[in-house]
């Protein structure tokens, strides 16, 4: 690729990239942040562009992806975790006759999100949390199945929930 004056690239494409970011965020300040982040990403990878004629399309793609990533992270950041006592046991979804299909679907989606995050926990935390949440076992039952002390299970559950909160908040 030929040498590129990044100031010229910025001047030429900034307004269009701002428009793209604004279309995703509907917020002027967030759009500006996304454009700046997009240019930083582009600057780091500028040497990978083979055709200067496609620079605008490349920048547009980076901006769109950055905006989408930002919106996803904002959604996770503003997600308010429920009291974990309300989550346990989640295995009884649909077992109550008063539960509607919509409620069951919402709970199922939430279970899938939690399930994906649980995979990031360490093995010792993951196994106690799954036994508690998915199978609805009490701490004493988990302790006997895993040959652990009840206090150890309680500690692991506490730490697993704490770690899970951090994973979900970081998104």
* End-of-domain residue from the set 77, 111, 132: 77
**Position 93 in a domain:** yes
Closest CA to 3 of 39, 52, 42: 52
Rg of the chain (C-alpha set): 23
Residues 88 and 165 in one domain: yes
* End-of-domain residue from the set 42, 57, 77: 77
pTM of the model: 0.45
**Position 135 in a domain:** yes
The C-alpha atoms of residue 146 and residue 17 are separated, in whole angstroms, by 55
**Position 126 in a domain:** yes
**Position 1 in a domain:** no
Mean pLDDT of the chain: 79
What CATH number is attached to the domain comprising 156? 1.10.10.10
Residues 141-160 pLDDT 10s = 889 888 889 999 999 988 98
The C-alpha atoms of residue 130 and residue 142 are separated, in whole angstroms, by 10
What's the total number of domains in the chain?
A: 2
**Position 119 in a domain:** yes
The C-alpha atoms of residue 13 and residue 34 are separated, in whole angstroms, by 13
The C-alpha atoms of residue 107 and residue 151 are separated, in whole angstroms, by 30
Residues 15-62 pLDDT 10s = 999 999 999 888 899 999 999 999 999 888 888 878 878 888 899 999
Closest CA to 16 of 49, 53, 48, 63: 63
**Position 115 in a domain:** yes
Residues 89 and 165 in one domain: yes
Domain extent, residue 127, equals 84-170
Closest CA to 1 of 41, 62, 52, 61: 52
The C-alpha atoms of residue 10 and residue 39 are separated, in whole angstroms, by 8
**Position 11 in a domain:** yes
* End-of-domain residue from the set 50, 77, 104: 77
């Amino acid at each position: 690729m030929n040498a590129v004056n990044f100031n010229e690239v910025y001047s030429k494409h900034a307004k269009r990239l701002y428009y793209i970011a604004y279309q995703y965020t509907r917020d002027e300040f967030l759009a500006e942040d996304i454009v700046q982040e997009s240019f930083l990403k582009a600057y780091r990878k500028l040497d990978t562009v083979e055709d200067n004629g496609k620079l605008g399309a490349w920048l547009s793609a980076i901006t769109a992806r950055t905006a989408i990533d930002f919106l996803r992270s904002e959604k996770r950041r503003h997600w308010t975790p429920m009291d974990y006592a309300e989550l346990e046991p989640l295995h009884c979804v649909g077992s109550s006759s008063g539960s509607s299909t919509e409620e069951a679907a919402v709970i199922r989606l939430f279970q899938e999100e939690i399930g994906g995050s649980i995979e990031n926990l360490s093995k010792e935390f993951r196994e106690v949390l799954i036994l508690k949440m998915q199978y609805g076992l009490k701490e004493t039952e988990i302790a006997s199945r895993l040959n652990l002390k009840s206090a150890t299970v309680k500690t692991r559950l506490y730490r697993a929930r704490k770690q899970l909160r951090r994973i979900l908040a970081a998104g």
